Amino acid sequence: MRFDIITIFPEMFAGIFSEGIVKRALDRGRIRIVVHDLRDFTEDKHRQVDDRPFGGLEGMVLKPEPIFRAVEAVREDGGGRVCLLSPQGRALDARLAGELAAERQVILICGRYEGVDERVAEHLADDEISIGDYVLSGGELAAAVVVDAAARFVPGVVGKEGSVRNDSFAGGLLDYPQYTRPREFRGMKVPQVLFSGDHKKIERWRRKKALEKTARRRPDLVKDDTLAPEDRRLLEEISSERKDE
């Protein structure tokens, strides 16, 4: 699995991938990340990557030619999924991160200024990806988010595969609450069930807490028609406990 990032600020990535899980995945050869300077794909002496927008108004727009050249140069065997980072794109979620992780090569194009000449979105990119309904000053932070989220789904990147499976969204719900030592801190106690040694009971408690949290914070994720019968029972239990409070 290889990520190619095309940017006018390649140095921005020096620190971000030099720690943690992504760094370990790089060291172990599970993923590769190659950062390309867009200016290396210009052909004029000023290495110009941007120009004024047709039709007036302020700001600059990234030109199409260096971007097309860069993508054509970095594609392996003519393939690769080409993704333009854009606030107008498909929202990044666990499903999309998993899809990207299944690709052999993902090419990420980082926009800047007022954005990128529309011909890149229309004729070069397979996807436009947004990391949220807000506007960043450039696509570099968004590209780093995409790489981190997708890399977690590449087999062997996260130590225990189970921890990805249990993460928020992976199983359709938010994660259950996690606790560690000490058992009691400033009067705040860890739920007793976690010391019971009864794995079935602990599993049921975790599922119930995950359902409770998801129903409260993200009701859009808890759809009655897709719930397993045991989950429906747990939700009924939760709502009758709430009524008793």
Which residues carry out catalysis? Answer: 87, 114, 152, 167
Choose, by CB under 6 A, the member of 45, 54, 123, 134 that binds ligand SAM: 134
Closest CA to 145 of 201, 83, 62: 83
Choose, by CB under 6 A, the member of 136, 190, 194, 202 that binds ligand SAM: 136
Give the residue with the Cβ less far from ligand SAM, 70 or 142.
Answer: 142
Give the residue with the Cβ less far from ligand SAM, 22 or 38.
Answer: 38
For residue 235, the minimal CB distance to ligand SAM (Å) is 33
Choose, by CB under 6 A, the member of 31, 82, 85, 125 that binds ligand SAM: 85
Give the residue with the Cβ less far from ligand SAM, 107 or 234.
Answer: 107
Choose, by CB under 6 A, the member of 139, 152, 208, 235 that binds ligand SAM: 139
- By CB under 6 A, which span of 79-87, 168-176, 190-198, 222-230 interacts with ligand SAM? 79-87
**Should residue 138 be labelled a site residue for ligand SAM when binding is judged by CB under 6 A?**
yes
Window 225 to 244, contacts with ligand SAM (CB under 6 A)? none
**Should residue 5 be labelled a site residue for ligand SAM when binding is judged by CB under 6 A?**
no
Binding string, residues 87-106; x marks residues near ligand SAM by CB under 6 A: xx------------------
Q: Which long-range contacts (CB under 8 A, 24 or more apart) does 234-237 make?
A: 234/204, 234/207, 234/208, 235/211, 237/208
**Should residue 142 be labelled a site residue for ligand SAM when binding is judged by CB under 6 A?**
yes
Give the residue with the Cβ less far from ligand SAM, 88 or 163.
Answer: 88
230 contacts: CB under 8 Å, gap ≥ 6: 207
- By CB under 6 A, which span of 19-27, 73-81, 109-117, 164-172 interacts with ligand SAM? 109-117
Contact residues toward ligand SAM (CB under 6 A) are 85-88, 110-112, 114-116, 130-132, 134-139, 142
